[in-house]
Structure 1
């Protein structure tokens, strides 16, 4: 790892992903990703902020990307949001992915929230709006600010909001070190 690329916030009690895998290789994405804290919602969204009726529900994404034993996802009624706990981020962190499905015409708006000390919001990056209608599918790779993080960034969170209809998300991953 380059001298200036150490993950931010390692000493702040934040989840600093270390173990990585290639969960999206079935879709020809061979990048290494780290699983977000309770990113499969098997602990009911522990550490996540769920609002507007968002909740962990029975029913996993159909590819079992994280584990064949998984049984849960998060339901997002139209307008509801799920925000991940803070995670360490590196200057080399470049993208994230997840799986989604929803009503016909529904989408999931993704926001990348950069935080400083004491969880103060330093900036919110629009990660785009991902179509989620129909059956489970992986999101495209969602770019982050990477080497241009807001000054004093100590962590990153992701906010997922259902727009245009009801949606669901599961298996949230972060590429912690820009692997490709």
Structure 2
């Protein structure tokens, strides 16, 4: 094995240990900016027809009936005819969404070419947002997205809540509609 390969292998092992160590730390040990301004959500079962009987709350502005002031659209992203259109190279960042331990997943309806990367942003300090990729969707036909585990819902201490934002970035042209969070303990 060449020195270069050996060095890369050693760095890979060291990286794996670092990730393992980071994951071994209780998530609530990471301090996020808490919030107490969480409204009681209206919950529905929008994915029941597809075998998902979980209860969900819609993300503010996530119906895309009009452009929401809380969403940030870049790179040619637009809202028209009740959907969010994301051409390749565009992105959309949701308005802040209040989540806690009892809100573990994200889902939406969508269709597109290529892949759609979904990331979550959470705030460690006022003004400091961290972005973490959490899922990917593919497919040309309109359908519910896979269930995406947002992970950042475990950052606040149990019983606390924090605001997160969702980031949608396509590699091809996409349309999405009706973005929801699963508040399983609030049903």
Aligned to 1:79: 89
Whether 1:171 aligns to 2:183 is no
> Are 2:43 and 2:58, in contact at CA under 8 Å, matched by a contact in 1?
yes
Larger radius of gyration: 2
C-alpha change, 1:10 and 1:51, in structure 2 (3 Å) is same
Compute the displacement of 1:79 (Å).
1.4
3-state SS of 1:134 partner: coil
1:50 aligns with 2:73: yes
Q: What is the CA distance between 1:108 and its match in structure 2?
A: 0.8
In structure 1, what is the Cα distance between the partners aligned to 2:148 and 2:61? 19
Return the offset for 1:31.
Answer: 0.6
Shift of 1:107: 1.4
- The residue number in structure 1 matching 2:35 is 9
- TM-score using structure 1 length: 0.75
Aligned length: 153
**Structure with the bigger percentage of helix:** 2
Deviation at 1:40, TM superposition (A): 1.1
CA distance in 2, matches of 1:57, 1:156: 25
Note if contact 1:85-1:157 (Cα within 8 Å) is conserved in structure 2.
yes
Partner of 1:144: 150
Does residue 162 (structure 1) correspond to residue 170 (structure 2)? The answer is yes
Q: Is the 8 A contact 1:54 1:81 kept in 2?
A: yes
The equivalent of 2:41 in structure 1 is 18
1: distance between equivalents of 2:52 and 2:166? 21
The TM-score normalised by the length of structure 2 is: 0.73
CA distance in 2, matches of 1:117, 1:129: 27
Q: Does 1:130 align with 2:153?
A: no
Contact kept in structure 1, 2:103 and 2:183, CA below 8 Å: yes
Residue of structure 1 in register with 2:116 after alignment: 108
Partners of 1:31 and 1:179 in 2: CA distance: 11
Residue of structure 2 aligned with 1:98, choices 102, 108, 129: 108
Distance 1:21 1:91 in 2: 19
Q: Secondary structure at the match of 2:180?
A: strand
> Secondary structure of the equivalent of 1:43?
coil
Q: Structure 2 unaligned segments of length 5 or more: list them.
A: 1-33
